[in-house]
Amino acid sequence: EVQLVESGGGLVQVGGSLRLSCAVSGFAANDATIGWFRQAPGKDREGVSCLGSRLRSIYYTDSVKGRFTISSDNAKNTVYLQMNSLKPEDTAVYYCAAVVRGSCPGGGTQYDFWGQGTQVTVSS
């Protein structure tokens, strides 16, 4: 059974940091494109970052460049999103998603599997 389980969200002050984790089961994360998305209340889902399969291409949306870092630990089959210098506009539910092989960057519709989401709240 394929599962993506996010963790690491929480409440943090402006300028703080959080590290989100996406634990993958059912296939090797290294063989998949893993994406991080977020959705704030009343807004559309937004692609934040992705880590491509095989060649491990990386993408960040402009608003998080220089502040967020995506990485993976193959031994733990887990993908991380390190978020630094957090801003109130980063407040959202964050989801990880996966598609075997896939492409990064690639549209959100390519992803076959989604996690349940983890809330990130940045207070000012």
Over residues 62-108, the pLDDT tens digits come to 999 999 999 999 999 999 999 999 999 999 999 999 999 899 998 88
Of the candidates 74, 73, 68, the one whose C-alpha atom is nearest the C-alpha of residue 17 is 68
Structure confidence at residue 56 (pLDDT): 81
Across the range 25-49, mean pLDDT stands at 95
pLDDT at 55 over 80: no
Is residue 121 very low, low, confident or very high in pLDDT (cuts 50, 70, 90)? very high
